[in-house]
Structure 1
């Protein structure tokens, strides 16, 4: 990367070649809802004028380098002095316990888990964080730490603003960078979601490799399956069972109870002819 050396006249930035340029050449820089959300939060802090100058820096390629790690984004921005300025934006990362809560909540919602596993950011993912008393995006200046090595004492300066715009485009390209900034990398999050979703689902289906090969079943492959066994038929009720349900009759013939004399007649009425 080549650049002019020495101070520029009238405080204009030294032009550079090979810097990082915003893809957008006019209008809004942020394209997706999540990167727009980030810029909207910044603009709500009353940074309009400086953000505009930072937007011009971002589009002209004045940002030489941008790195993102847990809690911290650092941009090297070429200003009017030979040495690039170091713009730093910090945000508090979520703790391991907080991420565990978020991951369990995301895994418990099939739609959220499916979109994240497909590389998409669910539009209402902020509600998951809010439901746990957490925030995905900073909502006040107190939640952001900004500093720049330039002599401008106001925060944010145009170098920080340029870094913010290129950071928004980074979020456009990869929404998982937002989560990484908060302390959870893409691979860590997706591995955890797969683990939790696998635990929540039923037992894993049988491994096809465990099944016997087709060559061992050629003799029965074209055979119709055995029909299911017919339902069990309860034993038929004895034809003279009704007599046992009656109260004993006070009648006897030649000393034998009349019920016993009637029993052969009941049995004969239900007997099938041979």
Structure 2
């Protein structure tokens, strides 16, 4: 089963497979879960994590240890980024996708034209560190952090640019400076109707003045008879909007199956259960 769902995440992991054995990678995959990763931080292109290790008397480890891991990628130079961004700015198919936070499938062609690459191709593209006693690089803890990184890239592919030394904000700023970027940005701007603010999120009860004198019957039964029929609520234009808003793979969802399909199955079973209880 592929732990990454996108082509860029899978290619990121393929670089690991090129310089380490499959058994070590299989063990590393188990270290990418929340059960193993105690803390996680991804900032300024560096992934830092603390992982729960195993007791191993062979290495003199008799208590469950905590290992500190850091993974970063070799950053590109400023001149390289200038050349790559200039190539981006010449292709509408590339710059238009980048401006809507999408990763073009042909993006490596522009990096190749600049005699470099975005996705890693070998161990030389990684700068890793782990304080475990395993001498091999990458160890299973480093592999676990790389697997977690691949999952992060699935949700936000522009973290790859940050790992290479260019923040997504700066990339967008540089793209908008180009003539083609300005034209495409103007085309993406659409006039949206202004929102009408509401005083309350929920419907508020309206106060009613009570008569000065009221009988016990009027107190319990009310002044007017209740309506015989209740107006049915309007159907939602998009069912389960809150569930679908995050997409199939929201950031908190680490499983391979679609979050929407799981929730659809859950609601279907709950509906059958409620109907069974009512019958």
Calculate the TM-score normalised by the size of structure 1: 0.60
- Asked if 1:45 corresponds to 2:19, the answer is yes
The change in CA–CA distance for 1:199 and 1:143 in structure 2 (over 3 A counts) is closer
Query: For 1:259-270, what aligned pairs fall within 5 Å after superposition?
Result: none
- Which position in structure 2 is the counterpart of 1:85? 67
User: Which is further off, 185-194 or 89-98?
Assistant: 89-98
Q: 1:188 aligns with which of 167, 170, 174?
A: 170
Calculate the TM-score normalised by the size of structure 2: 0.59
Q: Deviations over 1:218-260 (max 9, x none)?
A: xxxxxxxxxxxxxxxxxxxxxxxxxxxxxxxxxxxxxxxxxxx
- Which position in structure 2 is the counterpart of 1:222? none
1: CA distance, partners of 2:71 / 2:20: 17
Q: Note the C-alpha offset of 1:158.
A: 1.2
Kept in 1, the 8 Å contact 2:84–2:114? The answer is yes
Paired residue secondary structure (2:104): coil
Structure 1 stretches of 4+ moved >4 Å: 198-202
- Which position in structure 1 is the counterpart of 2:152? 170
Q: 1:76 aligns with which of 21, 26, 50?
A: 50
2: CA distance, partners of 1:124 / 1:110: 12
- Which position in structure 1 is the counterpart of 2:102? 120
Unaligned runs of 5+ in 1: 1-26, 206-274
The change in CA–CA distance for 1:49 and 1:60 in structure 2 (over 3 A counts) is farther
Q: Which has the larger radius of gyration?
A: 1
Query: For 1:1-274, what aligned pairs fall within 5 Å after superposition?
Result: 27-59=1-33, 61-80=35-54, 81-197=63-179
Q: How many residues align?
A: 178
User: Which is further off, 173-182 or 77-86?
Assistant: 77-86
